[in-house]
Amino acid sequence: MFNHLTTTFLHKLFTVAAALLLLAGPLAAQTTLLMAEEPGCMWCARWNSEISAIYPKTGEGAAAPLRRINIQDPLPADIDLARRVNFTPTFVLLVDGVERNRIEGYPGEDFFWGLLGRMLDQEGIMYETGGDDKEN
């Protein structure tokens, strides 16, 4: 049914496709920073005041986009936490929906960026650092 030319062509095509898949490596994991909060949380309000507007504009925000949940609501099915969230705010680094690290509480702007950067570094998640992008 196939002649030699067609068979040779298909063999080369599959070989090239396989090589491209190997060179591409694994698909990039989806990284998210989950913020667990609740109504009336003064530290959540402080984070919102100091960080929330600039977070998506930073390298960290690009590498781990923010997703918010209310701890009083059921945990979404696509999130797998290592343990229950008891304090707000809690920031959970998720990779493909699975908890890898967390910050419990909001220690202030300077400490937050340092702790978040350390979490991303520990997971080998690349992000741009600029320093000036965190200024208002």
Which tokens in the block code for residue 18?
């396989």
CATH topology of domain 31-134: Glutaredoxin (3.40.30)
Q: Name the residue ranges covered by the structural domains of the chain.
A: 31-134
Contacts for 58 with CB less than 8 Å, ≥ 6 apart: 130, 133, 134
The whole-angstrom separation of Cα 79 and Cα 94 is 8
Contacts for 68 with CB less than 8 Å, ≥ 6 apart: 34, 35, 36, 37
Q: Going residue by residue through the chain, which has 136 residues, state the pLDDT in tens, using 9 for 90 and above.
A: 556 555 565 455 556 555 444 444 445 679 999 999 999 999 999 999 999 999 999 999 999 999 999 999 999 999 999 999 999 999 999 999 999 999 999 999 999 999 999 999 999 999 998 754 454 3
